[in-house]
């Protein structure tokens, strides 16, 4: 489990930990929901607590927790992460644009792609803001953005949600806009946002439908060429401006050529984004005729 500094610590029987109740939607890990009794499962290393309804065949049994009680304020009122949510920031658009990374599935390379964009821009001296719009609470992605050079980082945790699975669309849409506005308010001149899970997940698809007019560009992270074709088609139906394809697919030059031929879009590996592709996207040079 992650401690308050982001380091993963080993748990032993009888350790006492603090977590936050929430759901989880992770096709490669757990499908989990709020617990209803005195026993619960650790859904994420970040401390999201729930009850596992299904698990990927590769995963072992989840860590079992005994619920000792609820954290409360001085009056005895149970605390919620909502109590710590930042106020809605002033609406603002970044000077150089907002780019959103969406993916075909979990594990498609979304965070690696978003981090590569942040790295590519920050190494040229730009002040980059990075944020994760949806997902389950964990520090891993935040640290990846930080290591890539993002000057400011805001995510859904800052807006009072331990996990976004199950929240109403309007709350998630407001969070996406709020993350962008908060990053701009802190001085970011360009913003990269990551939406978790894949395009078949309800919340992800709903947010993708609102990217037209919000995002200056979308980078689609996929694991294979067929997913690139399907993903570009879904995004086109939603009116979202896909500018390039990246992700795990780019580990294979042959699969990358397949995807480029089938979609007509540039396929850029994380290394290519860092080396100059991110700047080309920013300047519009990577947009196909």
Q: List the chain domain ranges.
A: 8-71, 98-283
Residue 124: what are its φ and ψ, rounded to 5°? -95, 5
Question: pLDDT by residue (tens digit) across 121-137?
Answer: 999 999 999 999 999 98
Q: What's CA 146's distance to the chain center, in Å?
A: 14
* Direct distance between the N- and C-terminal alpha carbons of the chain, in angstroms, rounded to an integer: 48
Q: State the architecture of 98-283 in CATH terms.
A: 3-Layer(aba) Sandwich (3.40)
Strand partners, 102: 220
Cβ burial 69-81 (10 Å sphere, 16+ → b, else e): eeeeeeeeeeeeb
| pLDDT score of 250 more than 50 | yes
pLDDT at 285: 52
In this predicted structure, the answer to whether residue 111 has a pLDDT above a threshold of 90 is: yes
pLDDT at res. 76: 94
Q: What is the pLDDT of residue 197?
A: 93
Strand partners for 128: 190
pLDDT tens per residue across span 7-65? 999 999 999 999 999 999 999 999 999 998 899 999 999 999 999 999 999 999 999 99
Q: How far apart are CA 251 and CA 254, in angstroms?
A: 9
The pLDDT value recorded for residue 204 is 95
Three-state secondary-structure class, residue 16 = coil
Question: Nearest 5°: phi and psi at 237?
Answer: -65, -30
Residues in Cβ contact with 153 at an 8 Å cutoff, skipping those fewer than 6 apart: 129, 130, 131, 142, 145, 146
Amino acid 288: pLDDT: 47
Give the alpha-carbon dihedral of 35, 69, 166, 75, to 10 degrees: 150
Is the model's pLDDT at 167 over the cut of 90? Answer: yes
- Helix, strand, coil percentages (3-state) for the chain, rounded to 5, are 35, 20, 45
Are 180 and 191 spatial neighbours (Cβ–Cβ below 8 Å)?
Answer: yes
């Amino acid at each position: 489990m992650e401690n308050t500094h982001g380091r993963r610590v080993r748990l032993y029987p009888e350790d006492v930990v603090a977590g936050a109740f929430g759901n989880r939607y992770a096709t490669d890990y757990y499908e989990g929901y709020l617990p209803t009794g005195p026993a619960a499962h650790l859904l994420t290393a970040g401390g999201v607590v729930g009850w596992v309804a299904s698990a990927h065949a590769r995963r072992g049994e989840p860590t079992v927790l005994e619920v000792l009680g609820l954290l409360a304020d001085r009056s005895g009122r149970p605390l919620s992460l909502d109590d710590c949510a930042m106020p809605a920031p002033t609406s603002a658009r970044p000077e150089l644009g907002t780019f959103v990374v969406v993916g075909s599935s979990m594990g498609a390379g979304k965070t690696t792609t978003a981090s590569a964009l942040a790295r590519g821009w920050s190494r040229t001296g730009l002040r980059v803001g990075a944020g994760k719009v949806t997902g389950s609470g964990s520090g891993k992605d935040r640290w990846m953005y930080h290591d890539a050079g993002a000057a400011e980082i805001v995510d859904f945790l800052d807006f009072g949600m331990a996990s976004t699975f199950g929240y109403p669309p309007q709350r998630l849409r407001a969070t996406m806009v709020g993350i962008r506005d908060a990053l701009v308010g802190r001085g970011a001149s360009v913003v990269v946002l990551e939406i978790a899970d894949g395009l078949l997940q309800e919340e992800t698809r709903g947010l993708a439908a609102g990217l037209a007019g919000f995002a200056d560009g979308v980078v689609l992270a996929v694991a294979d060429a067929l997913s690139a074709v399907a993903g570009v088609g879904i995004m086109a139906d939603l009116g979202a401006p896909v500018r390039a394809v990246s992700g795990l697919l780019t580990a294979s030059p042959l699969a990358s050529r397949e995807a480029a031929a089938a979609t007509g879009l540039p396929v850029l590996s994380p290394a290519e984004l860092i080396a100059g592709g991110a700047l080309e996207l920013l300047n519009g040079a990577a947009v196909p005729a």
